[in-house]
Amino acid sequence: MSRGFVKEDDLEHAGTDVPERPVSQHPNYVTLNGYDQLEKLAEALEQKRLILSAKKDEQPAIQQLAMVNRDLRYVAARLESALVTQPDVNSQSVVFGAIVTVEDEAGNTHIYEIVGEDEADIKSNKISYISPLSRALIGHKLDETVTWLRPAGNQILTITAINFAN
pTM of the shown model:
0.82
pLDDT of residue 98: 96
pLDDT of residue 16: 61
pLDDT of residue 121: 96
Residues of the chain with pLDDT under 50: 1, 6, 8-11, 13
pLDDT of residue 103: 98
Q: How many CB atoms within 10 Å of residue 118?
A: 20
Give dist(CA 31, CA 52) in Å, integer: 31
pLDDT of residue 7: 52
pLDDT of residue 60: 84
Q: Which residues contact 111 (CB under 8 A, 6 or more apart)?
A: 99, 100, 101, 102, 125
Q: How many CB atoms within 10 Å of residue 98?
A: 25
